[in-house]
């Protein structure tokens, strides 16, 4: 991994992955789609405009920057995917296979995140095993299962170095996520500071696997840096970190903001998606094959989130 292209750099993961890769000394091109401008903090290095579905233009960028590794972060998340299923399919399946074709020609390494969205109601919900039933009910989940299978197919048939992790809900404060089921766990922090009250779209007792962004960035980078001869799973690894329900994250916030109130206004679509996903994950394969260890617990994450959001709101006031 030397010259890296990050597709979807303006998004929730990309806006933090690009600076992290650059800080680690990698030449990293931040590629946006052109629809959302790249955030200013990414323009201190090379940038490009890339449409994942336009293979010729993508190939030209890969050639121009002599790219050897692509992090493909373009995705339409679970809740929005239910309102735009064909767009989710096109990006999540045609986008991935087009990139894998380029990877085959140009000998690229490719990271395309998978998600807990690959699981469904028949999957065991407690400590969901690495190898288990993947029959999702969302279009997002279907594209992620297809992405995992395609990545393993290109690895087995053409030797493409494709790797991925199944991300849980990702929590961050730099760039807002768009249209996920787990996004409540970000909104709750902003509302706790802005208004002191949060109306949660998921019921009490809805446990979901979650992860703080610094851990998510490390997972992607450490997997791509891992010695391939140790890996057995490739696409895709369960990565565990946190598991909580709305009451528990609210209680963590209340340790810092005792007046904070949690109310409920359940959204049936989000609730049905959340109910089909695991409570927590067995990530022993990631721990054994590439030494995965998460670093943040819930209270540590809460402290960083509340401090960072307070600073941002103060600066923008």
Stretch that binds ligand AKB, among 60-68, 163-171, 285-293, 303-311 (CB under 6 A): 163-171
Does the annotation count 158 as an active-site position?
A: no
In the bound complex, what is the minimum distance in angstroms from residue 136's beta carbon to ligand AKB? 11
Select from 39, 147, 169, 294 the one that contacts ligand AKB (CB under 6 A): 169
278 binds ligand AKB (CB under 6 A): no
Half-sphere exposure of 269 (CA within 13 A, CB side): 10
Question: Cβ of residue 198: shortest distance to ligand AKB, in angstroms?
Answer: 17
Structure tokens that stand for 14 in this block: 């990309």
* Alpha-carbon distance values, 226 to 20, 25, 89, 288 (Å): 17, 17, 30, 12
CB-based contact 61:31 (threshold 8 Å): yes
Whichever of 120 and 169 has its CB closer to ligand AKB, that residue is 169
Q: Per CB under 6 A, does 167 bind ligand AKB?
A: yes
Q: For 227-231, which contacts have Cβ atoms below 8 Å and span 24 or more sequence positions?
A: 227/290, 228/161, 230/289, 230/290, 231/163, 231/289, 231/290
| CA separation for the pair 306, 249 (Å, rounded) | 12
In this structure, the number of other CB atoms found within 10 A of the CB of residue 47 comes to 17
Establish if 180 lies at the interface with ligand AKB (CB under 6 A).
yes
Residue of 140, 154, 173, 296 with catalytic role:
140
Stretch of residues binding ligand AKB (CB under 6 A), selected from 25-33, 54-62, 110-118, 232-240: 110-118
Can residue 72 be called a binding residue for ligand AKB (CB under 6 A)?
no
In this chain, which stretch among 27-35, 179-187, 230-238, 294-302 interacts with ligand AKB, using CB under 6 A? 179-187
182 touches ligand AKB (CB under 6 A): yes
Contact status, residue 53 vs residue 94, Cβ threshold 8 Å: yes
With vertex at residue 289, the alpha carbon angle to CA 285 and CA 294, rounded to the nearest 5 degrees, is 70
The set of catalytic residues is 140
List contacts with ligand AKB (CB under 6 A): 77-78, 115-117, 140, 167, 169-170, 180-182
């Amino acid at each position: 991994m030397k010259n890296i292209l990050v597709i979807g750099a303006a998004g929730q993961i990309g806006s933090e992955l690009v600076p992290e890769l650059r800080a680690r000394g990698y030449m990293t091109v931040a590629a946006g789609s052109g629809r959302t401008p790249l955030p200013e903090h990414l323009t201190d290095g090379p940038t490009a405009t890339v449409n994942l579905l336009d293979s010729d233009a993508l190939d030209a960028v890969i050639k121009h920057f002599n790219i050897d590794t692509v992090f493909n972060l373009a995705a339409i998340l679970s809740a929005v995917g239910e309102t735009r299923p064909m767009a989710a399919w096109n990006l999540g399946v045609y986008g991935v296979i087009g990139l894998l074709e380029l990877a085959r020609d140009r000998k690229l390494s490719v990271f395309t995140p998978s998600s807990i969205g690959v699981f469904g109601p028949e999957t065991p919900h407690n400590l969901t095993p690495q190898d288990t039933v993947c029959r999702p009910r969302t279009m997002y989940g279907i594209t992620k299962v297809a992405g995992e299978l395609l990545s393993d197919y290109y690895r087995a048939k053409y030797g493409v170095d494709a790797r991925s992790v199944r991300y849980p809900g990702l929590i961050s404060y730099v760039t807002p996520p768009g249209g996920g089921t787990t996004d409540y766990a970000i909104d709750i922090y902003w509302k706790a500071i802005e208004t002191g009250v949060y109306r949660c779209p998921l019921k009490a007792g809805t446990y979901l696997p979650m992860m703080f962004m610094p851990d998510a960035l490390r997972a992607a980078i450490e997997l791509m840096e891992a010695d391939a001869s140790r890996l057995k799973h490739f696409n895709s690894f369960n990565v565990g970190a946190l598991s909580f329900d709305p009451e528990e994250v609210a209680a963590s916030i209340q340790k810092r903001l005792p007046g904070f109130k949690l109310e409920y206004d359940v959204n049936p679509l989000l609730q049905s998606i959340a109910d089909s996903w695991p409570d927590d994950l067995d990530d022993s394969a990631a721990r054994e094959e590439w030494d995965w260890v998460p670093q943040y617990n819930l209270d540590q994450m809460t402290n960083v989130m509340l401090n960072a959001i307070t600073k941002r709101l103060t600066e923008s006031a």
